[in-house]
C-alpha cells in the first residue's frame, strides 16, 4: 500500500478492512463532486467513523486526496509490473493478464479508475500541481513497456502491428469503462467478455 512514511502510520495501524472502507468511501465522495465540493463530513458519515478519527489519520482534505491518488497510481503500476513477470512477449497474453489484474483491483476498490480520472482532470489550485508531480514519469515508463518489446512474429504478415496494438488496447479499456459506467457488479461476466475479446483478436491478428 502507498506511503509507508511515518505520517500515515496511524492510518496503516487500522485493520485492512477499515482502511479499505475509508479509502472507498473517500474515493466515492471525491468522484461525486470533485475536490472542492468533496466534504470530509460526508466521508465520515458514510464510513461510519468519528470526524476526529479521520483527522487523526489525515490532517486535512488535501492530504487525504493526495494519499488516495498516490495509492491508486501505485496499485495500477504494481498490477502492470506483476502482469509483466515471466512475460513471453505475447502481446495478447500480456494484455489479458493486465486486464484480469485490473478487474481484481476493481473488486477491492470499485472506484480506482474513476478516481484517477477525476484527479487527473482536477483543476482545484490547491492540488493540481501535486497531482501533476505525482503522475510519476517512472509509472509512464511502465505503461509504455506494455506496448513495446512484443513478439512481432506472432502477428500475420499483413497486419499493421501498431494499429493492432492500438485497437486491442482501446477495445479492452473500453470494456472496463463500459462495465464501470453500467453500475454492474458481476466481475465474472466482465472477465468472460475480456477472454472472448482476446480470443477474437488472436483469430484476427495472429498466425495461429
pLDDT tens digits, one per residue of 78-97? 888 888 888 889 999 999 99
Compute the distance between CA of residue 136 and CA of residue 141 in angstroms, rounded to an integer. Answer: 9
Question: In terms of Cα–Cα distance, which of 64, 79, 59, 76 is closest to 23?
Answer: 64
**Could you give the angle at the alpha carbon of 201 between the alpha carbons of 195 and 204, nearest 5°?**
145
| Contact present, 64 and 128 (Cβ < 8 Å) | no
pLDDT tens digits, one per residue of 46-62? 999 988 889 999 999 99
pLDDT tens digits, one per residue of 169-201? 999 999 998 998 887 778 899 999 999 999 999
pTM over 0.85: no
| Contact present, 115 and 31 (Cβ < 8 Å) | yes
* Mean pLDDT value of segment 108-134: 87
Q: Which domains does the chain have, with CATH numbers?
A: 6-205 (1.10.357.10)
Res. 140: pLDDT tops 60: yes
- pLDDT score of 145: 82
Amino acid at each position: 500500500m502507498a506511503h509507508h512514511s511515518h505520517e500515515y502510520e496511524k492510518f496503516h495501524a487500522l485493520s485492512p478492512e477499515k482502511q479499505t472502507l475509508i479509502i472507498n468511501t473517500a474515493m466515492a465522495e471525491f468522484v461525486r463532486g470533485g475536490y472542492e465540493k468533496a466534504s470530509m463530513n460526508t466521508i465520515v458519515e458514510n464510513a461510519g467513523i468519528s470526524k476526529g478519527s479521520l483527522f487523526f489519520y489525515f490532517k486535512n482534505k488535501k492530504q487525504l486526496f493526495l494519499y488516495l491518488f498516490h495509492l491508486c497510481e501505485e496499485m495500477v503500476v504494481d498490477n502492470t509490473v506483476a502482469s509483466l513477470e515471466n512475460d513471453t512477449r505475447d502481446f495478447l497474453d500480456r494484455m489479458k493478464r493486465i486486464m484480469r489484474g485490473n478487474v481484481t483491483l476493481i473488486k477491492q476498490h470499485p472506484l480506482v479508475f474513476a478516481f484517477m480520472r477525476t484527479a487527473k482532470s482536477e483543476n482545484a489550485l490547491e492540488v493540481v500541481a501535486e497531482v501533476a508531480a505525482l503522475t510519476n514519469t517512472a509509472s509512464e515508463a511502465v505503461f509504455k513497456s506494455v506496448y513495446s518489446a512484443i513478439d512481432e512474429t506472432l502477428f500475420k504478415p499483413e497486419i499493421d502491428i501498431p494499429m493492432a496494438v492500438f485497437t486491442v488496447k482501446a477495445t479492452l479499456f473500453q470494456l472496463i469503462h463500459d462495465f464501470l459506467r453500467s453500475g454492474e457488479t458481476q466481475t465474472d461476466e466482465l472477465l468472460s467478455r475480456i477472454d472472448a475479446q482476446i480470443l477474437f483478436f488472436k483469430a484476427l491478428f495472429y498466425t495461429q
